Amino acid sequence: MQFAQIKMSTIPTIYLNDPSRKETAAKLRKACIETGFFYLDGHSIPLHFLDKVFEQSKTFFNLPSHEKKKLTDKSTNRGYTAFEEQALDTSLQTDRGDTKEGFYIAKHIPKEDPAYNPTKFRGPNVYPDGANSTIENPTEFRDVVDSYQKQMANTAFEVVQLLALALHLPEHYFDEYFKDPVAKIRLLHYSQEKSDPSNGIFACGAHSDWGMLTLLLTDSSPGLQILYNNEWFLVPPKRGVFIVNLGDMLERWTNGLFRSTIHRVISCGEKERYSIPFFYEPNFDTLVECLDGCWGEGNPKRYKSVTMGEFITAKYLATHKEYGPSETS
C-alpha cells in the first residue's frame, strides 16, 4: 500500500531553543495557517528518556489482555482502552473501531484530594502494580510515565507561548488559561492488521483533534496521514522529534485562521506500531471565544463560544464506547 509523502518544506521544523523568538514565531504562524502541523525539535527531553518511555509502553501492552482490561477508570477516562473501543470517524467506522489499544495517563489526583472531580477529568491514574498485574517493575513504569507527563506539560506550555507570539499577542497572553490544564498522554499500540479504508477499517479514523494542541511521539513506523488540499499525505516520523498539530480549540479561538487539520492513521500491515500523543488543553472551565483581531468587517465570527470542558466531554462521549463521567463523590 503506497501513499504520497508530503513535501518536507510544507511541514517545517520549529526549534524551541532557537534564540530568535521573532523569526520562530513567524515560521510557526505560517505553518499554523497552511497545514496546522509542524515538527518540534530543540526541546529539553533527552532522546534516551524518550526511548525509555517507549520501552515502558511496550512492557504494558505485552501484559495479558485480561489484566489490561481491569486497569481502567471509565469516569475520568484514565487507564486502558481496548482494541476498537474508540471510533474516531463515525461516518465511515460503522462496524468496527480503530485497530489500536491505548492507555491514558494524566496528572495523578487521589480521591481524597480536594481537587478530585471526575466530571472535570481530575482523578487518579490507574497504574499497573504487583497486585493487579504481572508487570515486572511497576515502580519504574509509574516513575517513567509520570515524569514524561510532567515534562510534556512543560514543553507544551512553551509552545503555547510561542503560539501567542505567532498570533501577534503578548507572549504570556494564554498563560492564565493553562494554570490547571487538561493534559494527558496516551500510550498507543496499533495492531499489524492492514487498514482497508474502502471497508471502514482504520488504524485510527479520520478526525481533527479537539483541544489546543497535540505533541506526538512515534516510532519509526509510518502511518500518520494529513488531509491537505483534499489529498491524503503521509507525514514521515523523525526520531526524537515531535509531530505537533493544532486542535479545534485553537481554531475556534482564531476564527479559523489557525487550522485544526483532519488526520488519520493507516496501517500497511507490515508490523505493529507504537505512538504516544500528548493532548494539551486549556483549563476545564475556559470560555473559548473568538480573539480580537481574528474577526471584523468581512470576516464574521464563525464559531459560537463554548467552554473547553463541555466541548471535550461531548467529543469523548461521541467516540468512546465505554466513557461515562460520574458526579463528584
Quick check: is 326 in a domain? no
How confident is the prediction for the chain on average, in pLDDT?
93
| pLDDT (0 to 100) of residue 325 | 59
- Residue 32: the pLDDT is 97
- What's the mean pLDDT in 125-143? 96
3 belongs to a structural domain: no
User: Could you tell me if residue 95 is inside a domain?
Assistant: yes
* Predicted confidence (pLDDT) at residue 124 exceeds the cutoff of 60: yes
Partnered with residue 104 across adjacent β-strands are 79, 186
**Distance in angstroms (rounded) separating the CA atoms of residues 253 and 146:** 30
Mean pLDDT of 55-67: 97
Average pLDDT of the segment spanning 114-143 = 95
Please check the confidence at residue 283 and state whether its pLDDT lies above 60. Answer: yes
On whether residue 216 sits in a domain, the answer given is yes
Whether 288 is covered by a domain: the verdict is yes
Check pLDDT > 90 for residue 329: no
Q: SS3 for 198?
A: helix
pLDDT in tens, 21-50: 999 999 999 999 999 999 999 999 999 999
Closest CA to 198 of 85, 92, 99: 92
**What are 11's three cell numbers?**
511541514
Residue 277 backbone phi and psi in degrees, to 5:
-80, 145
pLDDT category of residue 3 using cuts at 50, 70 and 90: low
What pLDDT score was predicted for residue 10? 80
Q: Is residue 329 part of a domain?
A: no
Total tally of structural domains belonging to the chain = 1
Q: What cell does 195 get?
A: 487498514
What are 234-259's pLDDT values in tens digits? 999 999 999 999 999 999 999 999 99
What type of residue is 55?
A: E
CB 280 within 8 A of CB 150: no
Q: Quick check: 327 pLDDT over 70? A: no
Task: Reply yes or no on whether the pLDDT at 208 is more than 80.
Answer: yes
Above 50 in pLDDT, residue 181? yes
How many beta carbons lie within 10 A of that of residue 36, not counting itself? 25
Task: Provide the residue range defining the domain that includes 71.
Answer: 8-319
The H or E element containing residue 145 is helix 138-166
CATH of the domain at 213: 2.60.120.330
Percent of the chain residues topping a pLDDT of 70: 95
The pLDDT value given to residue 75: 82
Q: In this structure, is residue 2 part of a structural domain? A: no
d(CA 198, CA 217): 28
User: Is residue 174 over pLDDT 60?
Assistant: yes
325: in domain: no
